[in-house]
Amino acid sequence: MKVWGVSVSYYTGKLEAYLRYKGIDYEMEHPFAKQDFVRERAGAIQVPIVERSDGRWMSDSTPIIQQLETEHPDRPVMPIDPVVRFIALLIEDYGDEWLWRSAMHYRWSYDHDRELLSRILADEVTTHLRLPRFVRRRMVKKRQHTLFVKRDGVTSDTWNHVEAGFFNAMRGMLPMLENRPYLLGDTPSIADIGMMGPMLRHFGQDPTPAAIMRNEWPAIAEWVARVWNAHATAGETSLLDTVPGDAAPLLQEIGETHLVQLKENAIAYGQDQKQFEMTVQGCTYKNMPVSRYRVYCLERLREEFEKLNGNDQQKVKALLAQEEYALIWDSSVKAKSDYDVERAAPFNKGINVLETG
């Protein structure tokens, strides 16, 4: 298969970590020089996009992985126990949608990171533009900082809290990795794959956060390398059949952050607003862009919860006792994105994450 992606991309790295673990052959190609061709088939230039040898196209890293799991069942990354599976998917969603802001902030708010990444992206995504390289680099820096930092709520008032998201994620992961090589077992789960989005290509490689991880959190740096170097072999998976107590700090962080964002975003979307405000762990974010896709993420979490039998639902509620988590099973906050209504993902046409309608 062909993966249309970018070498320093958040979600491309996540998918590559999965493909490497499962031993699925792929080749990389950059989509931006062929935007019309790719957009016509995939719906949006939202990397990674997979072009299959059978002519079908897949978009959105999570549904792509779920589809490939059905085709490559050896050593699954989806836990067999339904409660552990739900928690793993919750952790993945947090890695996908909450840590994005911190990752983009470190990449585009610090001079050294911004200069390095603008060079890489100028060479990978803008070579089709007939402009001098220094102009293309300037365009990349302005676009990325405006769209993914300033527009996404990073201000002098939120700066410290945005950076705390990186530290709190590592702090939550650490007790889990003190007891096991991976978050939920002796082999990688979808939780590990999801957290590789921010932890591999951003926090683990961009100069400023990578130095912090390497020097102050070496166990997390070691985990990143371990997941990247993991190889599936024939046989059963080795994932836990119960959610471990050492997951509690990370689950608390997810409830206090990601669930608040999902709730306020869904309320604003339901009211046809383009922006919303949220207060997370005492920090107020103003003029946040409403994301239709994140309403869809809440829908999917609710659907996964509804799949559980009554006993397993009670187990999940006991694990997620914080009031923020009631959003998952309390439908008083409406979540109707009208995206992928037929649940055809990953074979549907994708949308951009910050698309509001």
Q: How confident is the model at residue 354 (pLDDT cuts 50, 70, 90)?
A: low
Q: What is the 3-state secondary structure (H, E, C) of the chain?
A: CEEECCCCCHHHHHHHHHHHHHCCCCEEECCHHHHHHHHHHHCCCCCCEEECCCCCEEECHHHHHHHHHHHCCCCCCCCCCHHHHHHHHHHHHHHHHCHHHHHHHHHHHCHHHHHHHHHHHHHHHCCCCCCCHHHHHHHHHHHHHHHHHHCCCCCCCCHHHHHHHHHHHHHHHHHHHCCCCECCECCCCHHHHHHHHHHHHCCCCCHHHHHHHHHHCHHHHHHHHHHHCCCCCCCCCCECCCCCHHHHHHHHHHHHHHHHHHHHHHHHHHCCCCEEEEEECCEEEEEEECCHHHHHHHHHHHHHHHHCCHHHHHHHHHHCCCHHHHHHHCCCCCCCCCCCCCCCCCCCCCCCCCCCC
Q: What is the pLDDT of residues 182-203, one digit of tens each?
A: 999 999 999 999 999 999 999 9
Mean pLDDT of 137-156: 94
**139 within domain boundaries:** no
Domain that holds residue 208: 76-101+160-329
Angstrom distance (rounded) from CA 49 to CA 186: 29
> What count of Cα atoms within 13 Å lies in the side-chain half-sphere of residue 229?
7
For 99-118, the pLDDT digits (tens) are 999 999 999 999 999 999 99
pLDDT at 328 over 90: yes
Q: Which two tokens stand for residue 356?
A: 């509001």
Residues 6+ apart with CB under 8 A from 243: 83, 84, 87, 184, 319
Between strands 27-29 and 2-4, the pairing is: parallel
Asked if the structure places residue 118 within a domain, the reply is: no
CB 246 within 8 A of CB 176: yes
Residue 342 included in any domain: no
- Please give the pLDDT value at position 293: 95
Instruction: Kindly state whether residue 50 falls inside one of the protein's structural domains.
Output: no
49 in a structural domain:
no
pLDDT tens, residue by residue, 304-317: 999 999 999 999 99
Q: Is the pLDDT of residue 356 over 60?
A: no
Q: How far apart are CA 276 and CA 286, in angstroms?
A: 7
Q: Is 289 a member of any domain?
A: yes
Asked, for residue 18, whether it belongs to a domain, the answer is: no
What proportion of the chain, given as a percentage, has pLDDT over 70?
A: 97
- Are 76 and 69 in contact by the 8 Å Cβ rule? The answer is yes
Domain count, the chain: 1
Structural domain includes residue 250? yes
The confidence score (pLDDT) of residue 218 equals 98
Average pLDDT over residues 294-298: 97
Predicted pLDDT at 173: 98
